[in-house]
Amino acid sequence: MSTSKPRVKVPKTASKDEVIQIKTLISHTMESGQRKDSDGKPIPRKIINKFTCEFNGKTVFECDMEPAISANPYLEFSAKVPESGTFTFTWVDDDGSVYSTDAKIAVE
């Protein structure tokens, strides 16, 4: 069982249509699939392979990740905020595990 922990940094407030910076980091034990265990058997690949950010149900950013991604992947991107709402962040692992967290923002 993984102990992956997602963290996000989103401003608490913004002006209408302001472009904000969002930072994400997920603590995750990555395995490239290239190493072997003590018996010489390949250790299965286990990486975060997809990330999605939605705002009020609409996708604002998404990316696919490949084996060269680092452990604990960090992403930083911009998003335009037209109204108050909730960002939903989702990471998908090779083994099918899904990690998710939310962050609210108020438009003043």
pLDDT average, residue stretch 17-31? 92
For 36-74, b/e burial (b = at least 16 CB within 10 A) is eeeeeeeeeebbbbebebbbeeeebbeeebeeebeeebe
- pTM, two decimals, is 0.88
Domains and CATH numbers, the chain: 5-82 (2.60.40.10)
Cβ contact 48:30 at 8 Å: yes
Summarize pLDDT for 39-84 with one digit per residue, the tens. Answer: 999 988 888 999 999 999 999 999 999 877 788 899 999 999 999 9
